[in-house]
Amino acid sequence: MNRHATLLLALGACAVAPGLADAQVGSTRERVESLAFEPIQFDQPEPERRDVSGVTVLFLPDRELPLVTAMVGFEGGYGLFPRSHYAAGTALPALLRYGGVTGMPPDSVDVELETYAIQLSFGSGGGSISSSMNVLSEHFERSMDLWGRMLTEPAFDPGEIEVWRGRQMESVLRRPDDPGSLAFSEFNRLLYGDHPIGWEISAEDLAPERLTRARLEDVHARVVCRDNLLLGVTGDVSWVEAEDVVTKFVARVPECAEPLPEPPIPDVRPMPGVHIIHKELDQSVIVMAHPTDLPLADEPEYFSATIGNAILGGGGFSSRIMDRVRTERGYAYSASSLWTTPRRYPGLLGAVTRTRPETAVSAIEVILETMRELAAEPPTDEEVSTAVDRIANGFVFNFETAAQIVSRTMFYLAQELPADWLERYLSGVQAVEPGDVMRVFDAHLRPDEMTILIVGDTARIGLERLGTLGAVSVLPTP
């Protein structure tokens, strides 16, 4: 069967007479091209907001599978405590999972989790800890009880504390052997100094007196308490079925004895120039950036920066830095830009790449020149539309599951963003024009103030050549 006949049969034609095929195909094409459809209207499901003993609970039923997912977020993390509590704050999520509960050793907890096929995750950031639980809906009540005990009655088993300490100590010893991790940790230390963003766990942090059960209990009591709690529930359960279970879970969480301290605002230290750590490597790691004062906000400048970063180097193979550094010059396999926009403190505008020592200076020069171009003239309409389309086309993936919707809404609440932030974000980036991108780069880009951190072979890179980029500082090799 030929291609034209296949097309016609697919569209419902029964037969094609000899000599009429071309006319029939043309007529079919016209019919196809004239088809009109109603615009697709997508309404995001909105979680119900419930108040349970003063705790906000987001609830969204989902009857697709016989599963229930629950999520908690507790404001508070290692970034809110002094350095002496850094290890305890960092270890807390892992030890909530593996350290057992009061009256129940770790192996017994594991047996219970396996018996009821309870899936758990625990995580943390500098300002919060989070956990999620997923289970068959028939085991929802029992699972919430066990999960609640793990969160609120941790045993902090001494053996598990030592296992965690040993793993972290091994990581400390191996860090200098990973040039990528070394570059980012040293870069953060240069800019943020003695601030949680610039901290890297050390042997001193892991000293036994800094990771005692008493210190873990102190951090736990300050973080895992009711005033810090945000809870989400979704899945094959109605609120009538879930309310009593959720109420018991919240009642298990104690009141906070005192409020958490305010997150420390970093004093970002301008460190313009080149800072190099000598390592005899065939690939130099380059991290370069300078501080910016553009926050995440429902403002045109933020959306312009988002599209601008995608055009500069955040958009993969379609971005300028990738095209110049990889495609045109062959300096690196990968190169990308970054423009971070925290809510409450300065972000960073810069780029990262890896390249041979002999081409390190040239790669940096190309990146800086590419940045300057966006501050000097607008990008093309095609570049802007490509960046916008990448975001818009991926928009649907933000709503694939009810759990994803609830999790996002919890994040927006924690960040004090509006509940419809994702829709505002999409509208904001779709409104960006080429001139907006040029203006935001012109206002915020300062190439001469870049802090450039290189981990690489100083002999092959050439200290003299580095001097053309600014003052050179050779940092001690860890």
pLDDT in tens, 89-107: 999 999 999 999 999 999 9
Q: What is the pLDDT of residue 41?
A: 56
Report the 10 Å Cβ neighbour count for 184: 17
Q: What is the pLDDT of residue 326?
A: 95
Say how many Å lie between the first and final Cα of the chain, rounded: 70
Domain 48-252: give its CATH code: 3.30.830.10
| Statement: 273-475 belongs to CATH 3.40.50.2300 | no
pLDDT, tens digit, 9 for 90 and up, residues 388-426: 999 888 877 777 889 999 998 999 898 888 878 888 999
Sequence-distant (6+) residues with CB within 8 A of 200 are 175, 185, 188, 189
Q: What is the pLDDT of residue 394?
A: 82
Over range 55-62, report the average pLDDT.
96
Residue 127 has pLDDT above 80, yes or no: yes
Q: Is 48-252's fold the same as 273-475's? A: yes
Which single residue is written with the structure tokens 């809404």?
A: 409
Sequence-distant (6+) residues with CB within 8 A of 40 are none
Domain ranges in the chain are: 48-252, 273-475
Per-position DSSP letters for 263-321, written without gaps between them:
PPPP-PPP--EEEEEE---SSEEEEEEEEE---S-SSHHHHHHHHHHIIIIISGGGSHH
Residue 75 has pLDDT above 60, yes or no: yes
Which tokens is 111 given? 């047996």
At 267, give phi and psi (nearest 5°): -95, 90
Helix (H) or strand (E) holding 284: strand 284-292
